[in-house]
Structure 1
Amino acid sequence: MRQTAGVTVLRWLSVSSLLCWLWLTCCHGFFWRTDQRLPPRRPPARWPEVAVLVPARDEAEVLPASLPSLLAQRYPGRARVILVDDHSSDGTGALAERLGAAGGLPLTVTTPPPLPPGWTGKLWALRHGVELAGTGAEYLLLTDADIAHGPDSLAGLVAAAESNGLDLVSQMARLRVATAWERRIVPAFVYFFAQLYPFRRSNRPGARTAAAAGGCSLVRREALERAGGIAGIRGAVIDDVSLARAVKSSGGRIWLGLAEQVDSVRPYPRLAQLWQMVSRSAYAQLRHSPALLLGTVLGLSLVYLVPPVATVAGLVGGRPSVLLTGAAAWALMAGTFLPMVRYYRQPAGAALLLPFTALLYLLMTVDSAVQHWRGRGSAWKGRTYPRTG
């Protein structure tokens, strides 16, 4: 009797998971497609002035691979780079000045005042950079210190904004996938982000969804001021999404897609480093809500873990209905993940391992909540932001 009841429960769970995957595949903004690239563009009649803002804290390891790419931008108009050295302890500022001496776009290296309460370090650095940029810059490119840009990246971003009347143009940088753990975690990271914030919906003017990628976001200065400036999101841990929401809710047009000339050079060779990257903001993504955490754990289990469990149980136990529904759900899961796997130039078979990666993300999310409940908040670069609610 117990075995029959267990099979019945597993059968219904596998059917529910399959229904979820049918809905996700067909009705969730086609989040799994990777065709959102820079929209059609043409050179503007006048190239607007741009200030490139780079917040940097203890970035001496990656700066030689990223900063020269910004200084070497082939931009037809006026542009300059402002690197805000956020009180680094590894000589980031001095290294930046040496790299700037090699030529290219004008470089300013500056340090902000001490971090005040209520601000995250990155946003405080960006606010300082915005002030230093002055009113002459019509656009601000907010880019992280670990992001390398192709030589025409800035020109492409500005042309896309000018040609399409966009106030925020953001590209999800292609993250590094050199090690085994990077190959297992990184493509899924972008896939899950797109599932949470479908790019097509975010790019639709009337849709409520709004998202951006903090590593590469070109914002029109007027739109930023209309949205309340950097101060309007000063305490946000997930600053890129908060910026996109602020710009879109104030009437601005935003666009987010995958990058072709923007790459992260930061290495994450060990699982512990990738774990920290995800867990530091995962619970903030759930608005620090225990109810949302519980729903996320149950949802991830149903959508990602039930299909392989049902497939194996149905095969071993000779239950064709459980086997078929579980395998069908797993196939849809792998099929929607495959475009992202190909975007990262990984073997197609890696798409079948998404349930294992999803389990890791589930554990990372729970760990993020545990750290929050312990009062550690979001820790990054030697700073801990305590919980606010």
Structure 2
Amino acid sequence: MRSRGPTSILFRRRVAVITGAVVIGIVAVLFAKASDEMGELFAHFAARWRWVPLVTTPLGFMALVWVTRRWVPLARGSGIPQVMAARDDPAGAVKGLISVRTVVAKVLLTMGAVLCGASVGREGPTVQLAAAVMNLSHRMTRVALRGTVVIAGGAAGVAAAFNTPLAGVLFAIEELAAAYEQRMTLMVLSSIVIAGMVAQTLAGDYVYFGSVGAYLPIASAMIVVPVAGIAGGLAGGLFSRGVLALATGGSALTRWSKANPVLFAGGCGVVVAALGVATGLTWGTGYGAAQAMITGADAPLWFGPAKFLATLATAVAGLPGGIFAPSLAVGAGVGNLLRELFPGDQAQAVVILGMVAYFTGVVRAPLTAVIILAETTASRGLMLPMFAAAFLADGASKMVCREKLYHGLSRTFMTR
């Protein structure tokens, strides 16, 4: 007969999930603050010695890739593909994909990438870190880790990283749990919300990009939405295709990059450094530039294409680091280009539609994209146009890249 009370498996499982969710909220905020500090340090460095990053950034890329491949190969890349691979074999993942060694290295190396000026974000690594926290909480309570809890941990990381609990829930269902059991218990969903609330309590009740409240009349939306959705989706699909081609393809460049990973990383670092020195805007996450464009500030038309190239070069280099925040910045650049086509419409709304479309084109999770942008800009009045743009972008992206980016990348971790 099964025991009840504090010694029962059900009680210990609840304690593990709730404790893990609270800790996820705490570590996500700490990681965010540390990453922001690294970004500010690099910004001061690049402003004082403008040309020096042409040397330090490529060397930093090479060093980070060498350390990653030599000591913690499972820490490379975003972190979301690792969690997707871990959900199918949680017992094996606790020794590799979401082990303490892997995630500690992931955090440190991601901050190192930010300090080098790489076009990376912390959101993807936060997902892997959050899944590892769930692993630890279950080990401490002596409860077996299940695939659904790995998913919940990862999604709680999204909620905490963006201060958007609802986006975490949708990401769990739409992306992390795709092609997997879609039933999520109340306790698992609660962990996502708890992590988001803890992060909000610690970081304050803030809106990620600021309260914009963008709006677009229906007549204007019927013209802007199709253009934004298709353009952003095609651009996002092109990015995904490029990343997957170098990760899983069989071209001569792919073979050379795998045979000479450190040299290839150095070459990617040269691209990132050249763009950063030439423009002064493509370093890091691109948060500042994206926020400025969302609020209606004028930005150079070349920002979107330049940030696209910097993010692509960083993503294929093999560094630990995510693409969520840089993709939102590229999307803002896409929206900035679209402003020229629709000068009579609200600039903020056009930029946000470009962000939703491009982000959807990259991650192929339209519901998540809409909720993230709605919550991070407080533009809930724009949700219907955003949904339309997101679903158009999803279809356009499929025309360029049939396989989902994170699903394709997750296969590179399943053979380990």
Q: TM-score, normalised by structure 2?
A: 0.26
Structure with larger Rg: 1
Q: Which has the higher strand share?
A: 1
Q: TM-score, normalised by structure 1?
A: 0.27
Greater RCO structure (CA 8 Å; 6+ sep):
2
